[in-house]
Amino acid sequence: MLVCQGRAAADGRAAAGRFADPVAARLLSAAERGPVDEVRAGTPPQGWRARTTYESVRACADVVVPRTVAIDEALRARVTGQLVILGAGLDTRAWRLPELSQTDVWEVDHPASQQDKRARIADAVRTEAGGPEEGDSGGRAGRTGPDGLPALARSVRFTPVDFAVDDLGAVLDTAGHDPAVPTTWLWEGVVPYLTRDEVRATVAALAARTAPGSTLIVNYQAPSAKAAAGRLLTRVLGSSLTAGEPWRSLWKPQRMAALLAEYGLRVVSDDDLLTLTHTFADPAGGRTSLRSGRVAVAESR
């Protein structure tokens, strides 16, 4: 939800025209849009807790803009008939990228996250149709439905998976993914929350379903004392948005490249978010903590 708030806060205002996510705000409740509106207006709220939320959304926008721009541009350059989004969360690409009109999208996510997203997609339509708008996420209880906001992708298949427990290959098989034709795999904002073994197991599972001509786009975190200190501070301050999710694995670029190479995936680019920010913003600007976030693109041999 925080990532979605960050994208909504930056919609159309960042990256010199290269970033837009008009769908993000539509997936948020009125209460969740409050801090987004404050960040867009540049009006920090009074009160410590509200101010912490405001700063979290603002900082998140700084992170998601370069990574979204890099991923969207990599996706547009490599459109295939199958896109599998691992840990999709409130990813909006299937609803906002017209380049996916001939692509089937599998949104793979933890069952609890996915249930929440499906309710939000249904609510987005309700809101568009002028129906009552709920005040907070609690108002969504019981509202579910696979059909909602119309997708721009050829199809969207919600595929529940717990990476720590389930067999990703078997689940994708059942969901109709075809391992014999090229797939674009997208893995954004998830790797830090998995252990090294879970990351390896997921790479092995996707590699086993990766035909020649496929691509993996992976966002991960490299070790950084500065980023670790920033996260610790956020947890100590008790931000309700991020406090519950510890990072479990960090990867040096060489180690990530070596892991992918073991499974037949050759890294063709791997950039840190600060360098990416400098391609569309003031070369002297950007927080140095962005340097530890990375987006790598790897191609199957």
Ligand X SMILES: C[S@@+](CC[C@H](N)C(=O)[O-])C[C@H]1O[C@@H](n2cnc3c(N)ncnc32)[C@H](O)[C@@H]1O
Q: Least distance (Å) from ligand X to the CB of residue 46?
A: 29
Cβ neighbourhood burial of 234 (10 Å; 0-12, 13-18, 19+): middle
User: Nearer Cβ to ligand X, position 116 or 270?
Assistant: 116
User: Nearer Cβ to ligand X, position 241 or 257?
Assistant: 241
Rounded Cα–Cα distance for residues 249 and 256 (Å): 11
Rounded Cα–Cα distance for residues 249 and 195 (Å): 5
CB 144 within 8 A of CB 118: yes
Q: Least distance (Å) from ligand X to the CB of residue 218?
A: 11
The span of 12-20, 46-54, 160-168, 271-279 binding ligand X (CB under 6 A) equals: 160-168
Handedness of CA 25, 27, 33, 36 (dihedral sign): negative
- The one-letter amino acid at 156: V
* Total residues found in the chain within this entry: 301
The span of 74-82, 134-142, 155-163, 167-175 binding ligand X (CB under 6 A) equals: 155-163
Contact between 87 and ligand X per CB under 6 A = yes
Given candidates 35, 66, 148, 189, which one binds ligand X under the rule CB under 6 A?
189
Contact between 161 and ligand X per CB under 6 A = yes
Which single residue brings its beta carbon nearest to ligand X?
89
Rounded Cα–Cα distance for residues 55 and 15 (Å): 20
Q: Least distance (Å) from ligand X to the CB of residue 189?
A: 3
Rounded Cα–Cα distance for residues 51 and 70 (Å): 30
Contact between 274 and ligand X per CB under 6 A = no
Contact between 242 and ligand X per CB under 6 A = no
User: Nearer Cβ to ligand X, position 88 or 265?
Assistant: 88
Q: Tokens 């599972």 map to which residue?
A: 205
Contact between 91 and ligand X per CB under 6 A = yes
User: Nearer Cβ to ligand X, position 54 or 187?
Assistant: 187
DSSP string, 95-127: HH-GGGTT-EEEEEE-HHHHHHHHHHHHHHHHH
Contact between 162 and ligand X per CB under 6 A = yes
Contact between 6 and ligand X per CB under 6 A = no
User: Nearer Cβ to ligand X, position 89 or 293?
Assistant: 89
CB 92 within 8 A of CB 21: yes
Contact between 164 and ligand X per CB under 6 A = yes
Q: Least distance (Å) from ligand X to the CB of residue 168?
A: 9
- Token duo for residue 73: 């541009």
Pairing of strands 104-109, 155-160: parallel
Contact between 35 and ligand X per CB under 6 A = no
Sequence-ordered strand ranges (E) for the chain: 82-86, 104-109, 155-160, 183-187, 215-221, 265-272, 293-300
User: Nearer Cβ to ligand X, position 70 or 190?
Assistant: 190
Contact between 88 and ligand X per CB under 6 A = yes
Number of residues that bind ligand X (CB under 6 A): 17
- The one-letter amino acid at 81: G
- Token duo for residue 300: 């199957």
- The site map against ligand X for 99-138 (x = CB under 6 A) is ----------xx--x-------------------------
| Binding footprint of ligand X on the chain (CB under 6 A) | 3, 87-91, 109-110, 113, 161-164, 188-190, 193
